[in-house]
Amino acid sequence: MSASVAGPNDLGVVTRFAPSPTGFLHIGGARTALFNLLFARARGGKFLLRIEDTDKARSTQAAIDAILDGMNWLDLRPDEEPLFQSTRVARHAEVANALLDAGHAYRCYATAEELEALRAEQRASKQPLRYDGRWRDRACGEAEDGKPFTIRLKATREGETVIEDRVQGRVAVQNSELDDMILLRSDGTPTYMLAVVVDDHDMDVTHVVRGDDHLSNTFRQLGIIRAMGWPEPIYAHVPMIHGADGGKLSKRHGALGVDAYRDMGFLPEALENYLLRLGWGHGDVETLTRDEAVALFSLEGVGRSPSRFDLKKLESLNGHYIRAADDARLAALLRPFVERRIGRALSEGEAALLGRAMPSLKPRAKDLVEMADSALFLFAERPLPLDEAAAGLLGDGAAGLLGAAHRALAAAGGWTAASTEAAVRSVAEEQGLKLGKVAQPLRAALTGRATSPGIFDVLELIGRDEALARIADRLEDGRNG
Ligand code: GLU
């Protein structure tokens, strides 16, 4: 490009995410958005959002909300207000008409029945289904006056169209394989191909980063771009995400909306990092902050083969981010999960208790659902229900140990993890038992479970009065039973 011609590439990098709001923001879409955002940020450019809602029958407000919500949650915020494609129909028609006036497009009066008959013929003779260009060079006369028509692109028939794709490399198609596609339907509405091209141009998009399911569309879109004489964006078609078994990603494999991962208790940074590394790699770096990702991301680092979604890997990353998370933030994220489990709101005092429990709850959790479950003992009401394993621990012989533990704990000076530990150890020593033999029935009495955070942390968290009362409840059971 000569220096005097201003094209979008001179204005700096502009990328966009262009979801069709016909369903939730699925993880493949979220990854596309992330790659677009990282690439734009890496180049000091702009990341834009275009909601492709021209298909009014399939687009819903709920889907638009889910997309915006999911992008917000993952902190994939566009640099400008989203553009709604449906507001631009007049502009799309204007471009179709400009192509018509310039002789790059033509009116096609073929009826639906005629086109169906053509396809039937092609099917019967095992030919590819393509529009045969019957109106391409035909002048329309009076017979066509007032009849409905579509506007079709007069596509170049000779030679080939080549894309130097940043991810896929050089991809070419023979132009003879591309038929004259419809730009504007007979009701005046634009086709997807036209709308995408016009909007990308008007938004000054320099780099189109999207799923490789769009690769074949690109050849057609280039036909429009070239006919208009517009600058061509750089393309990067990212391979699809497949299931762990290599098959197409389905719900069973985890092709869920981003909101489902939030509800399953994943932290946004864990999902972000997982999606980033799904199809893009930088050596064997496992976890990256957003800033590091911006610094390192490149389209060339995106692999050419489909990546496999692995829930186990996501879970283990989530565990990592849970442990790394700031306690106050994590407690705030966890709070609604706990409230859902106990069916009521936490008081501020209880929320503060949850905050203090973070160091004890963090080490083992792989998601917030699990973490909420292990926090339940904090808010349980006496007498605590016992699960089967806990009931087993409170069988024969437990009452004597609990009684001794109750006495020792009641006599403990202060109430810290260290002072309660000293008390419980003294009981074990007196009885000639290993610490675990005393700790297990104690754990069952204090939490109703056989597994919990460290028993001295549990004692400290629930506090002296509540702890002694929970132990006394079990002694009471022993007397009654
Ligand atoms: N709206 C299209 C989709 O959701 C994407 C179009 C594009 O990225 O060019 O699949």
CATH number at residue 69: 3.40.50.620
**Tokens 């942390």 found at:** 457
pLDDT at 5 over 60: no
Ligand 1 centroid from CA 359, angstroms? 44
For residue range 310-369, list pLDDT tens digits in order: 999 999 999 999 999 999 999 999 999 999 999 999 999 999 999 999 999 999 899 999
pLDDT for 256: 80
Strands 14-17 and 46-51: parallel
Within 6 A (CB) of ligand 1 lie: 18-20, 52, 196, 210, 214
pLDDT for 9: 43
* Residue 233 belongs to some domain of the structure: no
Q: Is the dihedral of CA 117, 118, 119, 122 positive or negative?
A: positive
Ligand 1 centroid from CA 20, angstroms? 6
Task: Say whether both 245 and 275 belong to one domain.
Answer: yes
Name 83's Cβ contacts closer than 8 Å, sequence gap at least 6. Answer: 48, 49, 50, 51, 199, 203
Task: Say whether both 77 and 91 belong to one domain.
Answer: no
* Residue 226 belongs to some domain of the structure: no
Q: Which atom of ligand 1 is nearest to the CA of 17?
A: 8
* Residue 130 belongs to some domain of the structure: yes
Tokens, residue 179:
């038929």
* Residue 216 belongs to some domain of the structure: no
For residue range 85-117, list pLDDT tens digits in order: 999 999 999 999 999 999 999 999 999 999 999
pLDDT for 110: 95
pLDDT for 306: 87
| Model confidence, pTM | 0.91
Task: Say whether both 47 and 110 belong to one domain.
Answer: no
Of 251, 312, 362, 437, which residue is the catalytic one? Answer: 251
Task: Say whether both 460 and 402 belong to one domain.
Answer: yes
Task: Say whether both 105 and 183 belong to one domain.
Answer: yes
| HSE-CB for 29 with a 13 A CA cutoff | 24
* Residue 59 belongs to some domain of the structure: yes
* Residue 197 belongs to some domain of the structure: no
CATH number, domain at 400?
1.10.10.350
Q: Which atom of ligand 1 is nearest to the CA of 32?
A: 8
* Residue 111 belongs to some domain of the structure: yes
Task: Say whether both 282 and 357 belong to one domain.
Answer: no
Q: Which of 360, 378, 396 is the last residue of a domain?
A: 378
Task: Say whether both 284 and 332 belong to one domain.
Answer: no
Q: In angstroms, rounded to a whole number, what is the distance separating the alpha carbons of residues 100 and 94?
A: 10
39, 64, 196, best to mutate for ligand 1 pocket (most atoms within 8 Å of CB): 196
Confidence of residue 283 (pLDDT cuts 50, 70, 90): confident
Q: Which of 254, 287, 312 is the last residue of a domain?
A: 312
In the chain, % of residues over pLDDT 70? 96
List the domain range (segments joined by +) for residue 336: 325-378
Q: Higher-confidence residue: 11 or 126? A: 126
pLDDT for 252: 65
53, 210, 234, best to mutate for ligand 1 pocket (most atoms within 8 Å of CB): 210
Task: Say whether both 187 and 259 belong to one domain.
Answer: no
Q: Which of 133, 156, 191 is the last residue of a domain?
A: 191
Q: Higher-confidence residue: 244 or 203? A: 203
* Residue 8 belongs to some domain of the structure: no
Ligand 1 centroid from CA 304, angstroms? 19
What order do you get walking across the sheet with 46-51 strand by strand?
Answer: 83-84, 46-51, 14-17, 207-211, 234-238
pLDDT for 142: 83
CATH number, domain at 137?
3.90.800.10
For residue range 387-441, list pLDDT tens digits in order: 999 999 998 889 999 999 999 999 998 899 999 999 999 999 999 999 999 999 9
Task: Say whether both 392 and 371 belong to one domain.
Answer: no
* Mean pLDDT, the chain, integer: 93
pLDDT at 8 over 90: no
Task: Say whether both 174 and 104 belong to one domain.
Answer: yes
Task: Say whether both 111 and 76 belong to one domain.
Answer: no
For residue range 204-241, list pLDDT tens digits in order: 999 999 999 999 999 999 999 999 999 999 999 999 98
Q: In angstroms, rounded to a whole number, what is the distance separating the alpha carbons of residues 166 and 164?
A: 6
- Domain count for the chain, please give it: 4
Task: Say whether both 134 and 147 belong to one domain.
Answer: yes
Confidence of residue 158 (pLDDT cuts 50, 70, 90): very high
- 126 is an active site residue: no
* CA angle, residues 129, 133, 137, in degrees to nearest 5: 175
